[in-house]
Each structure stands twice: as structure tokens, then as C-alpha cells.
Amino acid sequence: MSAVPEPTATLEAALAHASRLLAVDPVLAAEQAGEIIKTVGNHPAAVLVLGSSHRRRGDIDQALRVLEPLAMEQPRSAMVQFELGIALSHAQRGDAALKALRRAIMLKPDLPQAWLALGDHLMALGDTKGADAAYANHVRFSIRDPDLLRAANALYENRIPEAEALLREHLKRTPTDVAALRMLAELAARIGRTEDAEFLLARCLELAPSFHAARQNYAQVLHRANKPAQALEEIDKLLAVEPSNPGYCNLRAVVLCRIGEYEQAIPLYARLLREYPDQSRIWLSQGHALKTVGRTLESIEAYRRCIALEPDFGEAWWSLANLKTYRFDDDDVATMRRELARDDLDAEHRLHLDFALGKALEDRGDYAGSFAHYEAGNAVRRASVPWDADENGARLRRAIATYTPEFFARRRGWGAPGHDPIFIVSMPRAGSTLLEQILSSHSLVEGTSELPEVLSITRMLRREAGAALGKSGEHVSYHDVLARLDAGQVAALGERYLERTRIQRKTDAPIFIDKMPNNYAHVGLIHLMLPNAKIIDARRHPLACCFSNFKQHYARGQTFAYGLADLGRYYRDYVELMAHFDAVLPGRVHRVIHEHLIDDPEREVRALLDYCGLPFEDACLRFHENERAVRTASSEQVRRPLNREGVDHWRHFEQWLGPLKSALGPVLEAYPAVPAFADGAGTE
């Protein structure tokens, strides 16, 4: 057994020697610490080495028996709190680990390893912003190079141009510095240069395959870039090294949900909840997953757990309301009113609570009170996501000017030959989920979700054109770029779409549905790159559709939906663009009027299946029996038979819809027909 150094050696030297041994031989470190304790008693530093040695050898119970009493005796020791936090993490006591790690950072803010561990926990909780800040601090406090430290500080303080200049200068001198490469990748990701971030992180891992923090960044960037298969590959590499890392587990669950693998994600969230039973955001994520697969009662229980933990958690209240079939009781209404009365309520919680209370009062027939809360929630949201209706109208008219009969005639026969996709395009809240549920009940058709790949292609086209012109892709019209592509390039876009969406397909059905509603703006691109794809336009009464959007809070996107006049203009522009495609591509798009479907479902379903080239199947009329996962706000509604419950519900609010009616103009008067527009599209 190793002994305490000779009498001439100091206690400090013995402790330092024991600490050094931890990294290379924790068994020997424990022996050294034990000898010190025998000689001088329970010296805190020696006890800390002993506890850490147990943890490093995997004896977590013994580590905690040593570290928990030590933390009570030494509440001001950052290293004790840190070591306790790591041991608690391994014991899957996540909530307690979080407290210990936060205490360690409070005591010693420049402790890099504590920031890294905290980032992993925050990532597990779905607190991406907090995790990013923690990881940034880990980088900042890990660096000893003065030049790189200046760059890290600039990046942390969001001084992007300065940080980029410093990092590029540093990489000129030391091009293989993986810490600098990772920081430059983070900078690129932060300002939306996703491809640059991917390249830099791939290079980073080529140089240092064991750089796990960079691999985690790489997985996140791939996820954000809509490359879930590649993201999962990187996450699985991380989990092979550290299978219990909560941040890796949560990221895997998030990506699995993105590709519709909810049944795999739910056990991961359940595992995280055993570790973090008091973390409302994980309960929220679990609630969303359970709702999507139709386990409604369990999803309600998860949302309720959120509210029990945080009564002001607006998103949990809204998630209950967003089930559409859920009804709040008197205590719920009183609690929401009490939370909204607080002066210190966070704006994000406030807007969610306003939307939820609006739904609660609507269900009770208090339409004036309901509208007041919908209006308040929309006002808060609109302030944070401004919308320019003129700019949107200009974009659509640019498309109208581009996609002429001559444009398509010159490109006849172009595109990928695949017949796989059925695109359902529409305004949001127009009945597209119902059409998806009907079609996906057919034996030859698979429902997926609102797939982002068409939008991803438009961004790629803009980005590439912007790079060629030396400016941001945001200021480039992708329609102009598309017009310059040759037949091979256009076919490649179609093949890219089919390849990138393959991961969303779970069955061997030959046909699948992409129901991203906003794809109506990209019908020209869809027709050109996938000429054999089917395109269905789901249309609902303008007032019913637009008001349904007004009372719907969206997690992201749909920024036009937070003002009645903006909604009216958006609907009008949508109708004009679709009328244009009806004129230049006659019969290409099949339109389903929601009210007609409600009134005569068999006739409309037969016409829909005929357009898609599918034989009639009675299961399409029994769509509510379909147990597939549904990822949209209508998930609970499409699990019930057709009814007229919501058809005229907007009339309860008609007295407040003046701005919407004015903005809709002749589109409202003509519905379900289409008025004439300036380019000649539409009919009186």
C-alpha cells in the first residue's frame, strides 16, 4: 500500500500527489488519500480525493456516501460541489446534480468542467439557449492562449465580426487548432451559415475524433440542417462512449421525433424523467410525443405535471388547450387568471396563457372575454415576430411573373420521374390534416407530416445564388435561380427531395404525403422538379380559416397569423397565386373545399382518390379509426368522425372580424369561387 511521503514532505505535497493520481490511477489515489486521513484525520481535500476516486472507479453509491456529508461540511468549496454534481449525474439524480453544479459555478464562475457538465444537463432539459451559454463558458474558461481567449470572449458577448476576425487570424497561424475550429463553427451556426458550420465541425472531428463536445455540436448542426440520419449517426457515436449522458439522450429523442419515431423517443423521455422528475420541460416534451401517437390521457397527465411544477408555465396550459377536445374547469380558469394578473410574468408565458384562457372562455360561451384574450396573446406574439404583408405579396407576384405558360412549355419533360409524393398545400388550419388522415387510411398511402424539404431546397438555391453574387441569400429570389437551371439540375432537385424524405417513410406503401401547408408558395418548383407528384389544395371558408389561425399559437413560423388584417391579406395572396397556377397549369392542382367534404364526404373522397389514381377504399371514409401518429394541432380532431361542429363557429366572433373582412375583400365575397385578379387568373 502506498504510504504518506517522508516526514520532510509537506501535507500539501501529499495532497497534490493524491490529486494527480486521480487521472491515472484512482485506486492508488484512494490509497494515498486513506493514508493521509489516517495520519491527519478527515482533511477535506483528502476526503474529496477519496470520493472522486470512488466515482471514477464506478462505485457511485460509495462516492455519494463520502461526498454528500463532505458537501454539507464544506458548503463553500466549488470543487466539492462539482464532484458531488458529477457523482449525482452518474446516479441519475439529475435535479440534485443541477443544484450542485449551479452551486459550484456560483462559487467559482471560471470552473470550465462545471460549465460543460451543466450544459449537458440543460441540453437534457431542452433548454437549448441555456446549454449554448454554458458550453460557451466552458470554451471561454478552458482556453489559455491569450489570442484565442480574446476571440472566445468576443463570441460569448456576441461581438461576431471581432470574434470572426480573431479566429480566422488565429487559424492562419495554427490551422489545425480544433478548439478554434469549433469556435468558428459555433459562430457560423449562430449567424445561419449552416454549411460552413458543418464543414468546420467535420474537419474538427477529422483532426480529433475523440473531441466529443465538437461531435455534439456537429449532431446539433446536422439536426438543424434537416439531416436527421447523419445527426443520429453522430449521436449514437457519443452514446457509445457515454450511454448515460442526459444531453445526448435528449438530443436523440428530439431527432427521433423529427423523423416520426415517437415510439422510440417516448422511452428516452421516460428515462430522463426518472433522472429529472421535477423538470417541467421534459414533461412537456413527453406530453407532445404522447399526444402525437394518440395516447391522449397520458399526454394530459404529462401536461398536468408541468403545471403542478410551474403554475405559470404558459406553454403547458396552451398544450392542453391545443388538444382542442380538452375542457378546463373552474379552478383552471381561476389559476390562469391569477397568473396573468402578475406584473412579473414572462412575456412568453403570458402569450401562451392568453391563448389558453381564450380557448377556455370560448368553450364556456364567453366570446367577448375569449376574443379579448386571443387579441392580447396575438399582440404579444406580433411584437416579437413582425410580419411585412407587402413583402410577402411582392414575393408571390414575383412567382406569378416567373411561372408563365411559356416557362413550363420550355421545360416540359423536366424533373425527376418519381410518382411517390402527394403534396397537400393550403393555408394552415384549412383541413389539410383531415385530408392527410383520409388519404393515409388507404392501403397504398403513407402519411408522414409537414416535411421541411421543399423549403430547404429553396434556401439552398438562394444561398448558392447569393454566394455567387457576393451577398446574403435572403436578398435573392430563388425563382430567378430556378429559371437559370438546366434539365439535369432540376431533376437533381427532385431526386434530392425524394432522397431526403426517405427517412420519414416507415412502411412499404408506394405513395407518401407531404402536408407542409406553406408549400402552396412553391407549386412552381414542385411541378418542375417532380412533374408526376400530385398536388392537392385544401381550402376552407376564409373567415373560418383565418380566425382559426388567429386563435392558434404556433411554436415557430406562420408569422402572418398574429393580426387579422395580415391574415386577410395572406389568404387573399394565397388564393391569387393558386388561381394563377390553375390558369397556367390547368388541372394540375386538385382542390378540396372543406365545407363540401363535410357535407358529402363520399363524393369528395372518391374525387380525391380518382385524382390521385387510387382505387376507392372504404377505410378512407373511416379515417378516424386510423391509429397513425399525427403531428399537428388537429391531431385529436381527426380521430373523430366528420361533423359540422367547427364549420360556422367563427360566427360567434363575427362582430370583431371587421379588419379581416376588409382585407379579404372580393375573395370573401366570391368563396368558394375565385374572383378575377390582375393577371387574368380566377373567375368572377
Encode pLDDT of 608-632 as tens digits: 999 999 999 999 998 888 665 554 5
Q: What's residue 6's pLDDT?
A: 44
Question: What pTM, to 2 d.p., does this model score?
Answer: 0.84
Q: What's residue 329's pLDDT?
A: 96
Whether residue 533 is contained in a domain is answered as yes
Q: What's residue 33's pLDDT?
A: 86
| One domain, residues 529 and 589 | yes
- Residue span of the structural domain in which 345 resides: 257-262+273-384
Whether residue 149 is contained in a domain is answered as no
Whether residue 268 is contained in a domain is answered as no
* Residue pLDDT, tens place only, 365-380: 999 999 999 999 999 9
| One domain, residues 326 and 416 | no
Asked if pLDDT for residue 153 goes beyond 80, the answer is yes
Quickly tell me which residue has 429523442 as its cell: 253
Q: What's residue 2's pLDDT?
A: 43
Q: What's residue 1's pLDDT?
A: 39
Q: What is the CATH number of the domain that holds 612?
A: 3.40.50.300
Which of 120-129, 132-141, 530-539 reaches the highest mean pLDDT?
Answer: 530-539
- Burial classification of residue 590, based on how many CB atoms lie within 10 Å of its CB (0-12 exposed, 13-18 middle, 19 or more buried): middle
* Residue pLDDT, tens place only, 407-417: 999 999 999 99
Q: What is the CATH number of the domain that holds 282?
A: 1.25.40.10
Closest C-alpha to 667, from 524, 515, 535, 540 = 540
Quickly tell me which residue has 408541468 as its cell: 306
| One domain, residues 375 and 416 | no
| One domain, residues 419 and 291 | no
Mean of all residue pLDDT scores within the chain: 91
Domain count, the chain: 2
Give percent of the chain above pLDDT 70: 94
| One domain, residues 424 and 293 | no
Asked if pLDDT for residue 139 goes beyond 90, the answer is no
Write down which residue in 366, 384, 402 finishes a domain. Answer: 384
Q: Which bin fits 67, alpha (ψ -120 to 50), beta or left (φ > 0)? A: alpha
Tell me if 493 sits within 8 A of 531, measured CB to CB. Answer: no
For residues 45-73, give the mean pLDDT. 92
The DSSP code sequence of 143-181 is: ---HHHHHHHHHHHTT-HHHHHHHHHHHHHH-TT-HHHH
Whether residue 134 is contained in a domain is answered as no
| One domain, residues 425 and 294 | no
Using 50, 70 and 90 to split pLDDT, how confident is the model at 594? Answer: very high
Q: What's residue 8's pLDDT?
A: 38
Q: What's residue 572's pLDDT?
A: 97
Q: What's residue 253's pLDDT?
A: 96
Whether residue 437 is contained in a domain is answered as yes
Write down which residue in 384, 404, 438 finishes a domain. Answer: 384
For residues 18-35, give the mean pLDDT. 86
Residue 416: phi and psi, rounded to 5, are -75, 145
* Cell numbers standing for residue 173: 497561424
Q: What's residue 407's pLDDT?
A: 97
| One domain, residues 316 and 443 | no
| One domain, residues 442 and 586 | yes
For residues 225-236, give the mean pLDDT. 94
| One domain, residues 424 and 298 | no
Which are the contacts of 466, defined by CB distance < 8 A and separation ≥ 6?
472, 473, 474, 475, 476
Quickly tell me which residue has 449562430 as its cell: 190
Asked if pLDDT for residue 41 goes beyond 90, the answer is no
| One domain, residues 418 and 527 | yes
Closest C-alpha to 47, from 89, 19, 88 = 19
Instruction: Among 5-9, 225-229, 296-300, 680-684, name the one with the lowest average pLDDT.
Output: 5-9
| One domain, residues 379 and 424 | no
| One domain, residues 305 and 436 | no
Whether residue 545 is contained in a domain is answered as yes
β-bridge pairing 589-593 and 421-426? unpaired
Asked if pLDDT for residue 646 goes beyond 80, the answer is no
Whether residue 544 is contained in a domain is answered as yes
- Between 644 and 453, residue with greater pLDDT: 453
* Residue pLDDT, tens place only, 205-219: 999 999 999 999 999
Whether residue 374 is contained in a domain is answered as yes
Write down which residue in 384, 402, 428 finishes a domain. Answer: 384
